[in-house]
Amino acid sequence: MRNLLLVIALATVLPASAQEKDSKKSQTPKAAAAAESRRDAVPPDAKEIEPGVWRWKDEKGKTWILRRSPFGLLKGEEKQEKTEAARDADDPSLALKVTEEGDQLRFERRTPFGVSRWTKKKTELDELEQRAWEREQKRRAENLPKE
């Protein structure tokens, strides 16, 4: 008897849920098409900087670069220019350690294979070594006790 009641209850519930799913499916393509068109639309306040490329600022103040591609509109955050400290961090002369040995300079640089060392005369320095030597001289001058 219980099984019969369970079958009857399921028979009445299942067709009703199938009708709800069908009604949701019929709305989904329309909603999907509307969402697709909004996603591929360039915001009206975006400024075109090149053909197919726009700059846009959102409500939060972030600046975005929008690009038209065969796959739709691509959105990427605009990168700010590097600060002076970040530019200095990219300077390869900062990786050099300089030691003065008479009329020669000893250079050291860490590499993945260990420390690389070499010596050069002060008159034969290349641009990178010259910058490292000037930086070392400034550091020494700043560290001298003032009289």
Domain that holds residue 57: 41-80
In this structure, is residue 1 part of a structural domain?
no
Report pTM. Answer: 0.41
Looking at the structure of the chain, the number of domains it has is 2
Spell out where the chain has E strands.
47-50, 53-57, 63-69, 72-77, 96-101, 104-111, 114-121
**Would you say residue 108 has pLDDT above 80?**
yes
Measured CA to CA, the distance from residue 74 to residue 35 in angstroms comes to 15
In this structure, is residue 7 part of a structural domain?
no
Higher-scoring residue by pLDDT: 92, 81: 92
At 140 the pLDDT is 87
**Is residue 53 located within the same domain as residue 94?**
no
Residue ending a domain, among 59, 80, 101, is 80
**Is residue 139 located within the same domain as residue 88?**
yes
**Is residue 122 located within the same domain as residue 100?**
yes
